[in-house]
């Protein structure tokens, strides 16, 4: 699992699952997502115990268009939204395994929370940041390649991509493993 593999947390990682009532409304803006988080989030970072909030919403992103959809977004420094309805739609419309979509999206967004690519301007390999798609990696096979958050990327994909060696070295330099 990516967290155990890459995060330096010898004390272990705990998952707390909460099911919330489905909020009203259709597509969500990120500010609506933040409102829901403010109301529903139960775990916060205390000292060395880092808490991450992951919201699997029934909805899709308000910025979606007929040609471009958002599968997930990392925001603040410990928050992720996964647009579960969008993942389900993409999965059924182009016959991609839902598990591959979910895992890739979640791991990619965690990559952003880990500071990839060059989010704080502190990457040791700053030259692999994609100048046309900032905060993403130029290496096409890498989990942090910008297209790994797009629908077309998943056509004919049968496995979850990994971080490439540059992203791993950057992560290790930031305290990961
Ligand atoms: Zn991204
Ligand atoms: Zn990379």
Cα distances (Å, whole numbers) of residue 139 to 37, 69, 115, 130: 33, 22, 17, 9
10 alpha carbon to ligand 2 midpoint, in Å? Answer: 25
Instruction: Reduce the DSSP state of residue 61 to 3 states and report it.
Output: strand
- pLDDT at position 115 over 80: yes
Confidence check: pLDDT of 151 > 90: no
**pLDDT value at position 26?**
84
12-69 pLDDT, tens digit each: 999 999 999 988 888 999 999 999 999 999 999 999 899 999 999 999 999 999 889 9
pLDDT at 54: 97
- Give me the mean pLDDT over the 140-168 stretch: 91
What's the CA-to-centroid distance between 17 and ligand 2, angstroms? Answer: 30
3-state secondary structure 81-112: EEEHHHHHHHHHHHCCCHHHHHHHHHHHHHHH
Residue 46 C-alpha to ligand 2 middle, in angstroms? Answer: 30
pLDDT of residue 31: 95
Beta strands in the chain (DSSP E): 53-57, 72-75, 79-83
Provide the pLDDT for residue 152.
85
Question: 137: helix, coil or strand?
Answer: strand
| pTM for the structure as a whole | 0.94
Pairing state between β 53-57 and 79-83: parallel
113 alpha carbon to ligand 2 midpoint, in Å? Answer: 14
Q: How far apart are the CA of 165 and the centre of ligand 2, in A? A: 7
Between the CA of 19 and the centroid of ligand 1 the distance, in Å, is 26
- Statement: residue 86 has pLDDT above 90: yes
Q: Which of 101, 105, 131 is nearest to 118 (CA)?
A: 131
Q: What is the dihedral of CA 134, 137, 143, 145, to 10 degrees?
A: 70
Confidence at residue 140, expressed as pLDDT on a 0 to 100 scale = 94
Q: How many A from CA of 171 to the centre of ligand 2?
A: 10
């Amino acid at each position: 699992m990516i967290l155990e593999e890459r995060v330096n947390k010898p004390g272990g990682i705990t998952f707390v699952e909460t099911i919330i009532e489905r909020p009203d409304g259709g597509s969500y803006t990120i500010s609506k997502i933040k409102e829901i988080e403010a109301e529903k989030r139960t775990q916060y970072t205390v000292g060395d115990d880092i808490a991450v909030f992951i919201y699997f919403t029934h909805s899709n992103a308000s910025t979606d268009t007929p040609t471009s959809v958002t599968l997930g977004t990392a925001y603040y420094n410990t928050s992720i939204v996964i647009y579960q309805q969008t993942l389900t739609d993409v999965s059924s419309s182009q016959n991609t395994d839902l598990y591959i979509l979910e895992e890739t999206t979640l791991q990619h967004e965690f990559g952003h929370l880990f500071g990839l690519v060059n989010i704080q301007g502190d990457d040791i390999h700053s030259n692999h940041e994609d100048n046309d798609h900032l905060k993403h990696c130029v290496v096409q096979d890498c989990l942090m390649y910008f297209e790994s958050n797009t629908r077309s990327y998943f056509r004919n994909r049968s496995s979850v991509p990994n971080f490439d060696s540059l992203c791993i070295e950057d992560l290790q330099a930031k305290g990961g493993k």
